[in-house]
Structure 1
Amino acid sequence: MSESELRFFETLTTPTRIQTFLDEIPYSTEHLYRCPLRVLRERVAHCFDGALFAAATLEHLGHVPMILEMVPNGRDDDHLLTLYKRNGHWGAVAKSNYVGLRFREPVYRNLRELVMSYFEQFYNVDREKTLRSYSLPLNLKVFDKWNWMTGDESLEQIAQRLDRIRKIPLLTQSMVSKLSVVDERTYQTGLIGADLAGLYKPSMKKK
């Protein structure tokens, strides 16, 4: 990390400032992963890149570098949250193409509460509410020996570990069958500032 990069990194002193940085850089539509150092240098990120960047920065501030995967019904992208805790309550930092899938204040008593705060905003371009489960948290400290903060080599391993980690279901099939579609106002609000090229295009399959 160069001296100027370090100076900028040192300005990211709160979860809110980390979120502001992620909000200000473009959403990546590329099918590749960037380590936190590349995000800092290239000033572009998608959900995965942003989650790792936030985790690295939060660890620098004394937090455990933990991420959590929110899993849809097969007709949407997964979404990653970077977790942090204050006074026993959970909050999150996140990079997203959707307005409603980003920052959460640390006011949630448990992870299910935190994840469910995203439910109404977690929808696809067909206006389906798609969130179905979430993973147990993944502590990125286990990847330190592979230098995940400064190199891209271990990022695929992190993605694969997230795929294997246990998932907690959120809805019953009865609940799913009765879900309403997202209304026009909510749909359009969620897409303010979105890069349309980065939106998931669902297949015909529903779950």
Structure 2
Amino acid sequence: MRRRKRPTPAELGLTATEGRILTSLRTPQRVQEYVSALPANFEQGGDSLRSVRGVLRHREAHCLEAAFVAACALWLQGEPPLVMDLTATREDSDHVVTLFRRDGCWGAISKSNHAWLRWRDPVYRSLRELAMSYFHEYFNKGRKTLRTYSASIDLRRFATDEWITSEENCWDVGAALDDARHYRLIKPAQMRWLMPPDATVLRADDIVQYESRDRKTARKY
């Protein structure tokens, strides 16, 4: 894997404490363990999109907030801070993962309150292959809902104070992810052949890492 120049925490605007936390995450596996251990941000105070600093301060995250943290941690190790946006039908939530490559293959760091949409080993030859690995278990109300995936989005295109150190919600970056080019995973004609999850899968889907008083909110993450 070709290494790029590692920025220092100070160059990204991080404090010494923030930098120590993130630079200690030296591998994608360590990054995954860290974001998985963060309690889920159920946004009970209203919609949020916290920066890396906001996540470290509040010590909780939803999938996109965790993707920011993971991308920043990888950047500090000399890897590009790349994310991919997965979009679903209207009755379900979208998802964002952080990308990395090993030996020419893609893997993903991903935070989810359910088991299905988490880490992916770096064994996928294309982003489409990686995105399709989430397809079967990406469902809501008994219906498979994943529809598109984005090209890789390099977060270096945004100023660091827009997603790393911002004290405000990072809505502009979130909107840019929504606006990125997306690719269809299945054709409309294929939807008629999709088999709904069976009773065993539905029971397994009730297992969550963090409980929320609102089951709809727990399902969202």
Give the TM-score, by structure 1 length: 0.89
Q: Does 1:198 align with 2:213?
A: no
Q: Which runs of 5+ in 2 are unaligned?
A: 1-13
Q: Does 1:117 align with 2:133?
A: yes
The Cα shift of 1:153 comes to 4.2
CA distance in 1, matches of 2:184, 2:159: 30
Show the counterpart of 2:96: 80
**Aligned pairs (5 A) from 1:7-86:** 7-30=20-43, 31-86=47-102
CA contact (8 A) 1:128 1:181 kept: yes
Give the secondary-structure state (helix, strand or coil) at the position aligned to 2:31.
Answer: helix
Give the TM-score, by structure 2 length: 0.84
Q: Which moved more, 1:178-187 or 1:59-68?
A: 178-187
Q: Which moved more, 1:61-70 or 1:141-150?
A: 141-150
**Aligned pairs (5 A) from 1:164-203:** 164-194=179-209, 195=211, 196=215, 197-200=217-220
Give the secondary-structure state (helix, strand or coil) at the position aligned to 2:19.
Answer: helix
CA distance in 2, matches of 1:5, 1:139: 22
Partner amino acid, structure 2, of 1:137: S
The counterpart of 2:166, out of the listed 142, 145, 151, is 151
Give the secondary-structure state (helix, strand or coil) at the position aligned to 1:45.
Answer: coil
CA distance in 1, matches of 2:182, 2:105: 21
Q: Does 1:161 align with 2:176?
A: yes
String of CA shifts for 1:177-202, please: whole Å, max 9, x gaps: 221111122223234225433324xx
Partner amino acid, structure 1, of 2:40: Y
String of CA shifts for 1:85-118, please: whole Å, max 9, x gaps: 1111000001112211010111100000000001
CA contact (8 A) 2:50 2:169 kept: no
Provide the identity percentage: 35
Q: Which runs of 5+ in 1 are unaligned?
A: 201-207
Show the counterpart of 1:205: none
Q: How many residues align?
A: 199
Q: Segments of 4+ in structure 1 off by > 6 A?
A: none
Give the secondary-structure state (helix, strand or coil) at the position aligned to 2:139.
Answer: coil
Q: Does 1:6 align with 2:19?
A: yes
Q: Which moved more, 1:189-198 or 1:63-72?
A: 189-198
Show the counterpart of 1:94: 110
CA contact (8 A) 2:112 2:118 kept: yes
RMSD of Structure 2 on Structure 1 (CA): 1.7
CA distance in 1, matches of 2:161, 2:16: 23
CA distance in 2, matches of 1:145, 1:23: 24
Partner amino acid, structure 2, of 1:176: M
The Cα shift of 1:47 comes to 0.9
Partner amino acid, structure 2, of 1:192: I
